[in-house]
Structure 1
Amino acid sequence: MGALRLSFGILLLVALSASGKTFPFEAVRLTQADARSFPAIGFGDREAAPPWSSTTPSCRAWPGSHDWPSDPEWKQLNVSLGGALLRPSPAASACYQGDNYNETTCRWLLDESRRTHFWIEEPLSTLTQWPQGSTCPLALNAEGTCTRGGFPEYVVNATTVKHVQAAVNFARNRNIRLVIKNTGHDFGGRSMGAGSLSIWVHNLKDFEFIPEYTVGRYSGMAVRVGAGLESWEHFNHMAANNISVVAPGGGTVGAVGGWISVAGHGSLTSKYGLGADQVLSINVVTADGRFLTVDPNKHKDLWWALRGGGPSTFGVITSVILKAYPPISVTNGGLNFAVNPSLNNTPPSTDPNSLTDLASFWSGVSLAYRYCTNIIAAGGYCFSYIYPLGNNSFRFTSSQLIPNITAPAYRALLQPLYTQLSTLHNIPVTLPTTITSSLYAGNGRRTGSGDFPVNTRYRSRLFPARVWQNDTAWADVFDAIRAGVEEGGYNFHGIAYSPTTEIAGWPGADSAVNPAWRETALHAIFMEVVPVGLSAAQARAADARVQAYVDRWQALMPEAGAYMNEGDPAEPEWQARFYGEKYARLVEVKGRWDPWGVFWASTTVGSEGWEVVTEDGYPMGQNGRLCRVGKGV
């Protein structure tokens, strides 16, 4: 009889998965019996939650404070989690004298780890170091001591919904700061926090192809994606199932989760819209510890907010159902040229596209960006960088990707750009004679290696399409781009696409996505590498310097928004820039679904009431206690 029950249970899970309702890991859930045996993981009651008042703790619990859980409580939590509670040391501790010191490991981390998947599989690290506080930088023969800094105290390696629920409930009931981490692609420090409990969803990697799925006005192919699936894995599943799905371009970016929660852009943005526009259903654990399915028919306010309303603020997503499309072919061509006028008429390299005239270089770059509107109209996108190389030298690199276009049509569309660059601007570029296409999903052999922690910081704006329609407006905006590169010394990253409301379709057009996305033609970013070890004063001065160039953009385009995932966590007026006119409604949804304020991260909805109190005042650092504004210790 026991074997029969077991077989029936397995058949039930298979049936549920085949219908697209749940994954097996989502069927393992926290029960009231679990909560009775350990009340600290008991469920919350949103209706009975008291409002924040003067009697509410001013700060989250802190290691060593009177309200920090005792060691036996942490051990009991681990028992409830079946051993999923981790307390890892920072990876770079191998480089410091102490119990973890290992010179061989340190050298491997420095020299070899970038060719592996190590940093994506590491439960603490993110690919941007500065928010952690630089208390344990990776360095050979490192001096001083390695401390945890802004890294979490404990990590729950979530492989079931029960793990997520128990972690959320424990953090809420014991007043602990909670963070959510996936692959570590985090430029703003949202997935780290000193004195926190981290929910690591990286290993929720299930995937399911659903040949027929219907909800509301949508009927067609779909896929169910676990929250921890990386983009490279997503593409391999596409190839195996002969389909296409809108996905992040970066191979190790999480394919859902924080990507869709903010907006999510990629190479199909002009054809099918943003990542958030693809969502048909979401499974999520909310602040009370409940596991819900949210879709156009259920929990409509949360459904609206989870698509574009910000990550780590309304719940922990465990899986998502997305639209799927027939196989898509993509045609991609590169356009690159450089200038080094300081060398007079001597080519700066063997690059045949090198110039000696600075004016020609900048006029050519301007033309290339303006021509991107033609690529967008064809459903494609332009992906580009401008690099300052020093000594008044610069390099422009770009690619123009267009889906489902023939080689002759691609050549006909791009040839005028190359002709104008050559004849009007004296830039020696020619369109390649051979234009080839490939499947968007590739050959199914992608890998997820090659990431390494760096200190890159992003400041971005979504340039509205209206700028391209006026020569004077464009000239002013491009001058501001040039100034940031030429005077400021910042790398410029530009991605041209247009995810309009019409392209978003149903249900994407009605979501919490920042309205600025629907008017944009260029996602523009200034990038810099933050030196390790800056003092708080030096960091604030560096912030002010780059902000002056971003302010020039804002003055020319007051309506311009910004993409939070590639934006500045110290963004002034971040509510308007990241969320636009939808922020007030998002705050209302936040209040209904998380009256305790369980979910908090910098620049997420409702986060302005709290701050991280660091010892040195480093701007936007996460190496400090989370307290209500003005109530810090």
Structure 2
Amino acid sequence: MGAQQLLRAAALCIASLAGIANGALDFESVQLQDKDVSAFSAEEFAKGDPPPQSSDKLPLCKAWPGNADWPSAVEWRRFNASLDGALLQPDPPGEVCYQGPDYNAAKCAYLVNNASSNHYYIDDPINVLTQWPEGNTCLPGLNVVGNCTRGGFPYYVVNATTVKHVQATINFARNNNIRLIIKNTGHDFGGRSVGAGSISIWTHHLNAFKFLPSYKRGNYYGPAAHFGSGLEQYELFNQMFLNNVTMVGAGFRTIGANGGWFASGGHGNLASLYGLGADQALEIHAVTADGRYVVANEDQNSDLFFAFRGGGPSTYGVVTSVIVKAYPPITTVQSYLSIACNPPPDTNARATLAPLSNVTNYVNDTSRFWDALQIYFKYKQTIVDAHGVDWDYLYPLGNNRTSYSFRVRTTFPNVTTTQAIALLQPLYTQFAAHGFNFTLNTEEMVPQPYAGTSVTNPATLSSLGLTQTRYRSRLLPRKNWASDTVFNQTFAAIRNSVENGQYTLHGLGYGPSNEVAGYPGRTGAVNPAWREAVLHIALVTSQPIGLTAAQARDEESRIQGYFQAWKDVSPGAGAYMNEGDPGEANWQQSFYGSHYPKLAAIKKKRDPWGVFWATTTPGSEAWEVKSVDGYPHSQNGRLCRTGVKRI
């Protein structure tokens, strides 16, 4: 176990033993005091009314390193001293691959060959898993050319281990007009955890946990858990083992258990049974743009309690901890289906084009392959209505429009194997009626604890590695399954984007309705489109390295042509921002629906200074990134106000 993992384990253990003092986790009891501010005025709390955001007296852009508006080296040293040395200026990990004083062949080889199979990137204070938003300025590689530059990575990082660190950083950034970003694990596909010329609050070590056997809040009475915003999903799963409970969590173990996942809704394997991650919150603790530590629930700061639960990340404040509902322990039963159509005969080609291992069903006719998939996609509503969730990928194999691979995992919570078989058997009966000899493998359908097995060595957890992934997604509503005509149109749009567009498709069937969300989930800011959804579906692409800005815009235009067909068959529906397009047209409606006006008003009230900013979040229209590389939606550039004229 590495130093980072030891630090996290020790912090989690100490905080759990310390318990909760006055409703706060131990690290939340360490707060910025008046004596701290009097000693260093740059950390003063906000006071008085700020000028209107449209005022021509305000700086046009955020401060920039090297410019006169950037704090001096002396001020940065004083700031670091006030944080007890928590201020970091880390280099991009890939720097060791570039010729220069930091070149290290062995470390570079490790990054390229090993770092993706362990916890390395998750524990890095600066890196995010998706590289294109920061400008691809320092990619690791064995034979790289050019120079490594910081690009869209933050200039400074504060390794926050107390609320005081969070408060001081917010105040320092606001008072010095510095761009502020928030990062935990770096599971970010849209560029919301990076930003050129910024200071980053790294919440990764705010990972305390406290189990509450009996908790009362409003209409809820029962077990709950209070944990920090840096807790990872594997740590939450481990706590479920220790306390013999179930809590709603993300599907991948290195995703933060709240953070950005939680702030935009947060789906997982229990979405059709208990709702989304945001639906679980009973109370939220945070630091707002004025630097104040607040507690938000139905009775106090109710506007923030609404907004934090699905209203977008990095927008209203820095969440430090949440209290969520806990449920009795449950098991899940999973089933797998895989279908390949005309896979390439070359084993090496098959391995590089798409995962084809353990495929159990083959179809040699392309038209028949699509017939089989249409049967399955129509059955998704039945799976969702049984509180199930499915997770599928559809890959074009090559560029010949005849070869494909489809893989899906279906999860049913709180059922027996016999019940799960009964739920799926009608699907396979339909397959057989259409001449498909697909067999339901009942031997693999053994009930397993929802949390799986405990993780004793987090270094073994894959970080997924660095990617160039881009998503464009849609939450297809129940009405698209209401008639054969509408469903056939929907499936035709899906097929066209894969068959003729040659894009990878990722789909998740689930139904986090208002009824499922329960109390108080249904009163949060979760996009109303979730409540009608049967299928979250995404087109997945990779932005190639070396793509020019013009080529990127051309590719964007091409994929939008296929994506528009999805919108045409689902008018008024929305999308999941965490796996959505940062270039989404009319993103206010797509990501937030009818809640957007209320969320924008809360943002304006709570952050009139514009301290927090992330792309496609409420109020973000007031700012834009002046990208230095010209790539659409890149964060490699200075953050400046929009619509402000200078005479």
The bucket for the TM-score relative to the shorter chain is: over 0.9
Which of 468, 471, 480 is matched with 1:458 structurally?
471
Deviation at 1:632?
10
Deviation at 1:430?
3.4
Amino acid at match of 1:415: Q
Deviation at 1:631?
5.8
Amino acid at match of 2:611: V
Partner Cα distance (1:466, 1:434) in 2 = 33
Q: Give the 3 Å change call, closer, same or farther, for CA 590–124 of structure 1 in structure 2.
A: same
Partner Cα distance (2:445, 2:21) in 1 = 41
Deviation at 1:331?
0.5
1:380 equivalent in alignment to 2:388: yes
After TM superposition, the structure 1 = structure 2 runs for residues 109-508 of structure 1, keeping only pairs within 5 Å, are 109-340=111-342, 351-390=359-398, 391=400, 392-433=402-443, 435-445=445-455, 447=458, 448-508=461-521
Deviation at 1:560?
1.3
Which of 562, 585, 606 is matched with 2:598 structurally?
585
Q: What residue in structure 1 maps to residue 4 of structure 2?
A: none
Q: What residue in structure 2 maps to residue 64 of structure 1?
A: 66
1:91 equivalent in alignment to 2:97: no
Q: What residue in structure 1 maps to residue 616 of structure 2?
A: 603
Deviation at 1:265?
0.6
Q: What residue in structure 1 maps to residue 579 of structure 2?
A: 566
Partner Cα distance (1:424, 1:443) in 2 = 39
> SS of 2:121's equivalent?
helix
> SS of 1:458's equivalent?
strand
Q: What residue in structure 1 maps to residue 52 of structure 2?
A: 51
Partner Cα distance (1:68, 1:85) in 2 = 16
Q: Give the 3 Å change call, closer, same or farther, for CA 172–352 of structure 1 in structure 2.
A: closer
Identify the range of structure 1 (431-440 vs 320-329) with the bigger mean alpha-carbon deviation. 431-440
Q: TM-score w.r.t. structure 2 length?
A: 0.93
Identify the range of structure 1 (386-395 vs 174-183) with the bigger mean alpha-carbon deviation. 386-395
Identify the range of structure 1 (366-375 vs 557-566) with the bigger mean alpha-carbon deviation. 366-375
> SS of 1:120's equivalent?
coil
Partner Cα distance (1:562, 1:399) in 2 = 22
Identity of aligned residues (%): 50
* 8 A Cα contact 1:360 1:427, kept in partner: no
Amino acid at match of 2:585: P
Q: What residue in structure 1 maps to residue 106 of structure 2?
A: 104
Deviation at 1:490?
1.0
Partner Cα distance (1:404, 1:619) in 2 = 44
Deviation at 1:276?
0.7
Q: What residue in structure 2 maps to residue 612 of structure 1?
A: 625
Amino acid at match of 1:50: P
Deviation at 1:61?
0.3
Deviation at 1:355?
1.2
Partner Cα distance (1:243, 1:352) in 2 = 35
* 8 A Cα contact 2:31 2:164, kept in partner: yes
* 8 A Cα contact 2:629 2:636, kept in partner: no
- 1:292-343 superposed Cα distances (whole Å, 9 cap, x missing partner): 1111111111111111110000000010000000001100110111111888
Q: What residue in structure 2 maps to residue 542 of structure 1?
A: 555
Q: Give the 3 Å change call, closer, same or farther, for CA 150–631 of structure 1 in structure 2.
A: farther
Partner Cα distance (1:73, 1:376) in 2 = 56
* 8 A Cα contact 2:56 2:645, kept in partner: no
Deviation at 1:15?
10
Identify the range of structure 1 (89-98 vs 446-455) with the bigger mean alpha-carbon deviation. 446-455
- 1:588-614 superposed Cα distances (whole Å, 9 cap, x missing partner): 111111010100010011001111001
> SS of 1:441's equivalent?
coil
Partner Cα distance (2:224, 2:487) in 1 = 40
- 1:218-259 superposed Cα distances (whole Å, 9 cap, x missing partner): 100000111011111111111111100000001111001211
What root-mean-square deviation, in Å, do the aligned CA atoms of Structure 1 and Structure 2 show? 1.8
> SS of 2:24's equivalent?
coil
Partner Cα distance (1:20, 1:462) in 2 = 41
* 8 A Cα contact 1:247 1:255, kept in partner: yes
Partner Cα distance (1:540, 1:294) in 2 = 42
Q: Which runs of 5+ in 2 are unaligned?
A: 1-14, 351-355
1:29 equivalent in alignment to 2:31: yes
Which of 622, 625, 629 is matched with 2:638 structurally?
625
- 1:353-380 superposed Cα distances (whole Å, 9 cap, x missing partner): 1110112211111111111212112111
Partner Cα distance (2:121, 2:155) in 1 = 18
Identify the range of structure 1 (377-386 vs 443-452) with the bigger mean alpha-carbon deviation. 443-452
> SS of 1:271's equivalent?
coil
Amino acid at match of 2:49: A
Q: Give the 3 Å change call, closer, same or farther, for CA 518–19 of structure 1 in structure 2.
A: farther
Q: What residue in structure 2 maps to residue 529 of structure 1?
A: 542
- 1:134-185 superposed Cα distances (whole Å, 9 cap, x missing partner): 1111111211110000000000000000000000000000000000000000
Partner Cα distance (2:311, 2:195) in 1 = 21
Q: What residue in structure 2 maps to residue 76 of structure 1?
A: 78
Amino acid at match of 2:374: S
* 8 A Cα contact 1:364 1:427, kept in partner: no
* 8 A Cα contact 1:59 1:632, kept in partner: no
Amino acid at match of 2:436: N
Q: What residue in structure 2 maps to residue 8 of structure 1?
A: none
Q: What residue in structure 2 maps to residue 39 of structure 1?
A: 41
Deviation at 1:442?
2.0
> SS of 1:543's equivalent?
helix
* 8 A Cα contact 2:285 2:321, kept in partner: yes
- 1:487-541 superposed Cα distances (whole Å, 9 cap, x missing partner): 1111111101111111111111111111111011000000011101211111111
> SS of 2:191's equivalent?
coil
Partner Cα distance (2:357, 2:140) in 1 = 33
* 8 A Cα contact 1:355 1:427, kept in partner: no
> SS of 2:592's equivalent?
helix
Partner Cα distance (1:249, 1:314) in 2 = 26
- 1:92-118 superposed Cα distances (whole Å, 9 cap, x missing partner): 000001121111110110001112211
* 8 A Cα contact 2:244 2:329, kept in partner: yes
> SS of 1:552's equivalent?
helix
Deviation at 1:617?
2.1
Amino acid at match of 1:388: P
> SS of 1:269's equivalent?
coil
Q: Which runs of 5+ in 1 are unaligned?
A: 1-12
1:575 equivalent in alignment to 2:585: no
Q: What residue in structure 2 maps to residue 10 of structure 1?
A: none
* 8 A Cα contact 1:414 1:431, kept in partner: no
Deviation at 1:412?
1.3
Deviation at 1:433?
4.5
Q: Give the 3 Å change call, closer, same or farther, for CA 283–342 of structure 1 in structure 2.
A: closer
Partner Cα distance (1:341, 1:178) in 2 = 48
Amino acid at match of 1:226: G
